[in-house]
Structure 1
Amino acid sequence: MEQKSKRSFLQITRIMLSWKMIAMFFFGFSSGFPFYIIKDVLKLWMTESGVDLATIGLFSALGLPYTLKFVWSPLMDGYVPRFLGRRRGWILIAQIGLMMSIALIGQFDPSKSLFWIVFMALCINFFGASQDIALDAFRREYLTSDELGFGTGVWMNAWRLGMYVSIGIALLTELNISWASIHIILALMMGIGILTTLFVPEPKVDASPPVSVKEAVIEPFVEFFKRHSAILVLLFILLYKIGDNMAGAMTIPFILKMGFSKTEYFLIVKGIGMFGLFGGVILGGSIMIRLGIARSLWVFGILQAISTALFAIMVMVDHNSMIWVDYRQVILGCIIGFEFFSTGLGQAAYATYMAIQTNKRFTATQYALLTSLMAVPGVVAASATGFMAKYLGWDVFYFFCAVIAVPGLLLLFKIAPWNASNEELETTH
């Protein structure tokens, strides 16, 4: 298979500075913004209101709509709203639902009206998950395969910005602003996404939407599993980042066990690490325009494995040596920075590959299914990492996490050969 001619610097720049990327930024922000309103902001509010800690902990279960969003995604593929179109119509419905739910939840008192807090929190997560279904489908259909990598990188960073902004607005309580007013401010922030929805065009898709329940619910599965490499694609989605996820699950205990303080952890991981992650997803998207998705998956996957192995090497360094004593913070900062950077690269390529594996007739349903599957290794495999680190030791544990990335890379020989073009990966289904 011949790789298409590489993009010129001017072509790459045009893609990166296009109006489409501005739309991806605002939509990514709108996607990340409501997620942490329930995950963190609500818990902060309930703690201040004196709600029992056990009750606060149970609120984590309210995130289920994000895990189960594939259940109602066929409706969003099959039914086309009469205004704005199939994608923008559903996006707007979800955004209006979010704006109303966020504003309303702030009008209740967690210490007195817990039932209504639970109900409104479920509404926020339902509309947030629904917005994500429609937005993911929009991104897949709105961007070309050449634009998708960088657009995904912009989206991911804007998603995290939305998260930080929602938490930052909650801190306005320090200025004696009431929680009711804060939730009004939070609700108004959804106006950014609503305006973007009204101004961007509906994606043009040649395939017609499903017209029956059978076509909307059954056909996405049938179409996917009829493909020649369907099982290999699913295995790849499960395995490509499994080592990276397992290693990441033990970052906090590892750093503290290595003798670093909580302050050092915060400054190095949340500071250097987050900048590395942001840089990784943006640079990863930029590189994908030049290299293509297939080659990027190879390069970024290898870098992920190397970055994980560096933690094992750090364990093997003599911690009584002058180099470690004098430069341990620098050593940790470099390794963390490279690890988060590699993770960001891998995330950009991984999400882009999943997007192009969807059939545009069933984008919402198939993408929701693949992203739900993507979360499995982070939950199942990561749950055993504590036992592994305890009984294997940190050095063997991190070498294992590096080696377990190999099966995912080997699958690339079949599903994304080195010279495969973006178009060839997209047309394999």
Structure 2
Amino acid sequence: MPGNEETVRRRSFWAVLVALYVAQGIPGYLLIMAVPAALRAEGMPLQQVGMMSVLMLPLVLKFLWAPLVDRTRLLRWGHRRGWILCTQLLTVLGIGLLAWVGPKASITAILGIGMLIALSVATQDIATDGYATQQLKSAELGRGNAIQAASVAAGVLIGGTLSMTLIEHWGWSAALLVMAVLCMLPLLFLPWMHEPSPAFAGRAGGGKVSAVHQPRLGHFLRRPGMLWILGLAIIYRLSEGMQRSMENSYLLANELTLGQVGLLGGSGAAIAGLFGSALAALWLRNSSREQVLLWLSASRIALFALFLLHSLHWLGGNGSLVALAIALSMLRYMEMVALYALFMSASSSEQPGTDFTILACAELLTYMLSSIAGGFIAKQMGFSGLFSVSTALAAFSFCIAWLVLSRFRQAGWGAPGDARGVAA
């Protein structure tokens, strides 16, 4: 029966989406959490371990090649499915190479292999986000982006926490080979990845699409209202980066142990993130994305203000501080769900991967620059000064968000049946 077939098809879609997002979360957090920690434990100098941060560059710059992914079909097996298959195999190959060279290899070799993995993960992210943006119905954006946010938490738990535990007990090579096998498992779901009939037809085997609309960065800028959404992406989480970058240092300054801070920032944050992602998805079922984002933005002001009160010794001891840290972790994941749902609703059907990637990169770049600024502000003004600045910036972001989202709502973007043309 048609109804049953559609139900099975949607269930397959959700399973594929979970597999794809977890597939990129594991190697991502393996690179930024486990590998640097393992290298330091093996005696690598701090300045060389710090060089691993360069592997974040592909995540910030991936918008540059997003149009290529949107307009080029690599394999006959499917447009985005082809990209995902190739990039996931490259990721597995890269992790296998890391296992082979070992932690005593030169930093140049480790960075080279790490960059291969980072580029593969970033490119797969473009293809996966494009697939999700095309497939998700307007009413499903909250649930779809909850899966994306939850995959970050899964990446922390598996690629970060689990891999560090395995490295400690089994050694570098065995642990990384386990991670490589785990990264292979999502490929088993690709046969159930059904793509809609493309708006443009391309020659399989590397041919570029031939159509009236060729995905370009310029098309994003020329679409009405997209500069407003880009402005929102830049400003919305501006205050969060500086708060997050100094959060662990503030916890340590309040005499929490390194193990307690690691537990809060690792497993604790991941569990809070899973709960927050589910809560945001439920909230988005009953409220608009605009309303949810504004309430979350207002909640951030309140939480930052509570951190300020705590730094002034007006808000209890470490019990309240731990509660604030958990609440802030949950809020971050909720914001991710609502913000990415908005980004998807604003993305066009002709170049979904490009549009979404531009917005996500803008948001990430601002977050990273804000994180860098947080250290300088804390050094000059102390934690109370930092929390004062972050609270003021959060209030400024709320005002900008209110202005942009009002225009967004008036224009009717993201409403059911919008111009994004999401495939049913």
How high is the TM-score relative to the length of structure 1? 0.82
Q: How many residues in Structure 1 have an aligned counterpart in Structure 2?
A: 405
| Counterpart for residue 281 of structure 2 | 285
Find out whether 1:404 has 2:393 as its counterpart: no
Does the residue aligned with 1:393 lie in a helix, a strand or coil?
helix
Check conservation: 2:156, 2:267, Cα contact below 8 A: no
| Counterpart for residue 245 of structure 1 | 241
Structure 1: runs of 5+ lacking an equivalent? 1-13
1:237 Cα deviation after fit: 1.0
For residue 228 of structure 1, what is the amino acid of its counterpart?
Answer: P
| Counterpart for residue 11 of structure 1 | none
1:277 Cα deviation after fit: 2.8
Does the residue aligned with 1:61 lie in a helix, a strand or coil?
helix
Pick from 357, 360, 364 the counterpart of residue 368 of structure 1. Answer: 357
Residues 328-377 of structure 1: CA distance to partner in whole angstroms, max 9, x if unpaired?
23322333333222222211111111122221211222222221111122
Pick from 128, 131, 139 the counterpart of residue 138 of structure 1. Answer: 131
For residue 171 of structure 1, what is the amino acid of its counterpart?
Answer: T
Instruction: Please give the alpha-carbon distance, in whole angstroms, between the structure 1 residues aligned to 2:387 and 2:51.
Output: 35
Counterparts of residues 344-355 of structure 1 (less than 5 Å): 344-355=333-344
| Counterpart for residue 330 of structure 1 | 319
Counterparts of residues 240-279 of structure 1 (less than 5 Å): 240-258=236-254, 260-262=256-258, 264-268=260-264, 270=266, 272-279=268-275
Check conservation: 1:242, 1:404, Cα contact below 8 A: no
| Counterpart for residue 80 of structure 1 | 73
| Counterpart for residue 171 of structure 1 | 165
1:45 Cα deviation after fit: 4.2
Instruction: Please give the alpha-carbon distance, in whole angstroms, between the structure 1 residues aligned to 2:255 and 2:171.
Output: 41
| Range moving further from structure 2, 136-145 or 288-297 | 288-297
| Counterpart for residue 382 of structure 1 | 371
Find out whether 1:304 has 2:300 as its counterpart: yes
Find out whether 1:211 has 2:220 as its counterpart: no
Instruction: Please give the alpha-carbon distance, in whole angstroms, between the structure 2 residues aligned to 1:185 and 1:388.
Output: 41
For residue 233 of structure 1, what is the amino acid of its counterpart?
Answer: I
- After superposition, the CA RMSD in angstroms is 3.2
| Range moving further from structure 2, 328-337 or 270-279 | 270-279
Instruction: Please give the alpha-carbon distance, in whole angstroms, between the structure 1 residues aligned to 2:356 and 2:385.
Output: 38
1:33 Cα deviation after fit: 0.8
Find out whether 1:96 has 2:96 as its counterpart: no
How high is the TM-score relative to the length of structure 2? 0.83
Does the residue aligned with 1:90 lie in a helix, a strand or coil?
helix
Q: Evaluate the alpha carbon distance shift between residue 265 and residue 223 of structure 1 in structure 2; reply closer, same or farther with a 3 A threshold.
A: same
1:105 Cα deviation after fit: 2.6
Counterparts of residues 122-137 of structure 1 (less than 5 Å): 122-137=115-130
Instruction: Please give the alpha-carbon distance, in whole angstroms, between the structure 1 residues aligned to 2:308 and 2:262.
Output: 21
Check conservation: 2:138, 2:417, Cα contact below 8 A: no
1:116 Cα deviation after fit: 4.0
Residues 292-334 of structure 1: CA distance to partner in whole angstroms, max 9, x if unpaired?
3232222222222222222233345547xxxx3xxx2332233
Identity across the alignment (%): 20
Instruction: Please give the alpha-carbon distance, in whole angstroms, between the structure 2 residues aligned to 1:266 and 1:59.
Output: 20
| Counterpart for residue 180 of structure 2 | 187
Find out whether 1:60 has 2:60 as its counterpart: no
Residues 154-196 of structure 1: CA distance to partner in whole angstroms, max 9, x if unpaired?
2221232133212313433444x45333333222112222112
Q: Evaluate the alpha carbon distance shift between residue 18 and residue 212 of structure 1 in structure 2; reply closer, same or farther with a 3 A threshold.
A: closer
Instruction: Please give the alpha-carbon distance, in whole angstroms, between the structure 2 residues aligned to 1:166 and 1:36.
Output: 5
Q: Evaluate the alpha carbon distance shift between residue 224 and residue 208 of structure 1 in structure 2; reply closer, same or farther with a 3 A threshold.
A: farther
For residue 166 of structure 1, what is the amino acid of its counterpart?
Answer: G
Check conservation: 1:294, 1:417, Cα contact below 8 A: no
Residues 30-63 of structure 1: CA distance to partner in whole angstroms, max 9, x if unpaired?
0101112322333344345544443232232233
| Counterpart for residue 4 of structure 1 | none
| Counterpart for residue 205 of structure 2 | none
Instruction: Please give the alpha-carbon distance, in whole angstroms, between the structure 1 residues aligned to 2:191 and 2:213.
Output: 29
Instruction: Please give the alpha-carbon distance, in whole angstroms, between the structure 2 residues aligned to 1:239 and 1:428.
Output: 27
Find out whether 1:356 has 2:352 as its counterpart: no
Instruction: Please give the alpha-carbon distance, in whole angstroms, between the structure 1 residues aligned to 2:230 and 2:334.
Output: 20
Q: Evaluate the alpha carbon distance shift between residue 162 and residue 380 of structure 1 in structure 2; reply closer, same or farther with a 3 A threshold.
A: closer
